Amino acid sequence: MSTHVVIGAGATGSATARLLADAGEQVRLVTRHGGGPVHERIERVAADATDTTRLIELTRGAVALFNCAMPAYDRWPTDFPPLAAAVLAAAERTGADYVMLGNTYGYGHTDSPLTEDLPLAATSVKGRVRAQMWNDARAAYDAGRVRVTEVRAGDFLGAGAYSPFTLMVGAHVLAGSPASYPGDLDAPHSWTYTGDAARTLVTAARHEQSWGRAWHVPPTSSAPVRELAARLAAAAGAPDPRLHPMTRAELEEIGRSDSIMAEIPEMLYLYDRPNILDASFTMKALDVLPTLIDDVLSEMAAEHAGSAAI
């Protein structure tokens, strides 16, 4: 039985831990408060992942270290660099393979479908943070200090997922209330199911061609927001969605009192035009296929129904 360390117990981190545990592996799940799924092969540990010494202790003897942690959206520039540095150092010092959960922010603005070989040319603050995390890890790989790979996801869907859609549209659609979205409601947009992100992470960790490169999680759908909202409502038996495009001025006004919403304007280029994630190489090389979108939306509807019943 091998030991794997997973940092972060959000929707994707928890799914990754469960996948490994269900496969017979021992998992050490590290979060600030010791949370996460209950499983006989998951050891939940409360620790600060920016504490390099402590993280090295927890990683020693593990075959792989998965970084699924995500600081608060408005604290990426201050909180992500020390976290990334500590996790990279732990992998280097212990010899564990390092598997990063990333996103597409590092690519910056492009009008073409995103492929894994695109250069990281972000100009946004959060995009540069994500790009630097990969550049630092890749430099350590090139120097022979660690084996590292990054799995890049689009905006998340699924039970417990957090994204502009789940927070600003999905929750309102399921509640039968009006929703506003800061983007083009009819532009194709690639969505990532958290369970597919977990499967891609685990598969990449087991593949000898993974190291020193990035992979894309196969999108569960590239439906526009308007279509996705309608399908979610149908899955939940909710009324037809009442959607309204949110103007930049409206978004900035909300951001004056909401620090999270204040971070979205610089990323509007992801939402006001088509944003397509090409994962054809990953699907062929890793043999990972996306979950059907209707299954994902049914999961989200069931989660909402369960919460409403409590």
pLDDT the model gives residue 104? 97
Torsion of CA 62, 66, 67, 68, to 10 degrees: -140
Per residue of the chain (310 residues), what is the pLDDT tens digit?
799 999 999 999 999 999 999 999 999 999 999 999 999 999 999 999 999 999 999 999 999 999 999 999 999 999 999 999 999 999 999 999 999 999 999 999 998 999 999 999 999 999 999 999 999 999 999 999 999 999 999 999 999 999 999 999 999 999 999 999 999 999 999 999 999 999 999 999 999 999 999 999 999 999 999 999 999 999 999 999 999 999 989 999 999 999 999 999 999 999 999 999 999 999 999 999 999 999 999 999 999 998 877 6
pLDDT the model gives residue 307? 81
- CA 105, CA 158: separation in Å to the nearest integer? 20
pLDDT the model gives residue 211? 98
pLDDT the model gives residue 310? 63
Q: Which two tokens stand for residue 205?
A: 């960790």
DSSP 145: S
Annotate 69-101 with b (16+ C-beta within 10 A) or e (fewer). Answer: bbbeebebeebbbebbebbbbbbbbbebbbbbb
The pTM of this model reads 0.97
- CA 72, CA 40: separation in Å to the nearest integer? 30
Helix (H) or strand (E) holding 166: none
pLDDT the model gives residue 263? 94
Nearest to 28 by CA among 53, 50, 57, 70: 57
